[in-house]
Chain A
Amino acid sequence: MSALAFADIVERLRAVFPAATLPAIETKTSDNGQPWLLVPANDIVRVATVLRDDPVLGFAALCDLTGWDLLKYAANPPSTDIAIVYYLHSLIHRHHLTLKVLAPRDTGTVPSVSSVWPVANYFEREVFDLLGVHFAGHPNLKRIMMPDDWIGSPLRKDYIYPASYNGIAHLRDGQKFEDAPTRGDAAAPAQAAKP
Chain B
Amino acid sequence: MTDITKPANGADEHVFTTSIDEFLAWGKENSLFYLLFATACCGIELMQTGGPRYDIDRLGMIPRATPRQSDLMIVAGTITHKMASRVRTLWEQMTEPRWVVSMGSCANSGGPFSKWSYSVLNGVDKYVPVDIYIPGCPPRPEALIDGVMALRERVKKYRTLGVRDRDPHIVQGSDCAFGAHPGKPPLPETTEPSA
Contact = CB atoms under 8 A, between A and B. Distances in A.
Interface of A: 145-147, 154, 159, 161-162, 165-172, 175, 177
A195 to B, nearest CB: 14
A162 to B, nearest CB: 7
Given A167-B182, A168-B84, A172-B114, A146 B119 contact: yes
25 contacts: A145-B82, A146-B82, A146-B119, A147-B81, A147-B82, A154-B118, A159-B118, A161-B118, A162-B118, A165-B81, A166-B85, A167-B181, A167-B182, A167-B183, A168-B81, A168-B121, A168-B127, A168-B181, A170-B122, A171-B114, A171-B122, A172-B109, A172-B114, A175-B114, A175-B122
Interface in B98-125: 109-110, 114-116, 118-119, 121-123
Q: Helix, strand, loop or mixed for chain B's interface?
A: loop
B164 interface: no
A151 B51 CA distance: 42
Instruction: Count chain B CB atoms within 10 A of each CB in A168, A170, A175 and give the residue with the most.
Output: A168
B140 interface: no
Given A146-B119, A172-B109, A172-B110, 18 more contacts: A146-B82, A154-B118, A154-B119, A162-B118, A165-B81, A166-B81, A166-B84, A167-B181, A167-B183, A168-B81, A168-B121, A168-B126, A168-B181, A170-B118, A170-B122, A171-B114, A175-B114, A175-B115
A166 B178 CA distance: 12
Interface in B43-92: 81-82, 84-85
Nearest to A147: B82
Nearest to A178: B115
A186 to B, nearest CB: 20
B64 to A, nearest CB: 28
Contacts of B84: 166, 168
Contacts of A168: 81, 84, 121, 126-127, 181
B122 A172 contact: yes
B129 to A, nearest CB: 14
A166 B79 CA distance: 14
Chain B interface residue number, banded: 10 to 19
A6 B182 CA distance: 58
Contacts of B182: 167
Contacts of B82: 145-147
A177 B115 CA distance: 7
A72 to B, nearest CB: 16
B142 to A, nearest CB: 28
B95 to A, nearest CB: 26
A59 to B, nearest CB: 33
Of the candidates B114, B118, B121, the one having the most CB atoms from chain A within 10 angstroms of its own CB is B118
Contacts of B81: 147, 165-166, 168
B119 A172 contact: no
Nearest to A180: B116
A42 to B, nearest CB: 33
A78 B109 CA distance: 39
Nearest to B115: A175
Contacts of B114: 171-172, 175
Nearest to B183: A167
A172 B118 contact: no
Contacts of B181: 167-168
Contacts of A175: 114-115, 122
Nearest to B123: A172
A154 B127 CA distance: 23
A52 B183 CA distance: 56
